[in-house]
Amino acid sequence: MNIEQAFYDVLQDFVDFPVSELDTALPIHYAADLNSFMLIQLATALEERFSIRISSQDLQGIPSADDILAYLRVRLGA
């Protein structure tokens, strides 16, 4: 499984522009224009896609798309 592609496939459902244009170093709520509710929905979608559990504490500690990808790689042992 390509974690990065799967992440961006999920994220694409939450943004109104191509995810290839996303600045992955910026906080995701800013870069992708996501509000708090949308961030929770994104986390839920990632949990379903990757069959993992993301605690709210973990979610607060992974602000950018780069951080989310790093988190997913660690959680999935990639």
Domain of residue 34, CATH code: 1.10.1200.10
Q: Is 18 part of any domain?
A: no
In terms of Cβ atoms closer than 10 Å to its own Cβ (0-12, 13-18, 19+), residue 42 is: buried
- The tally of domains found in the chain comes to 1
For the chain, 78 residues long, give each residue's pLDDT as a single digit of tens: 699 999 999 999 999 999 999 999 999 999 999 999 999 999 999 999 999 999 989 988 899 999 999 999 999 998
**Structural domain for 30, as ranges:** 3-13+24-75
Phi-psi region of 64 (alpha: psi -120 to 50; beta: other; left: phi over 0): beta
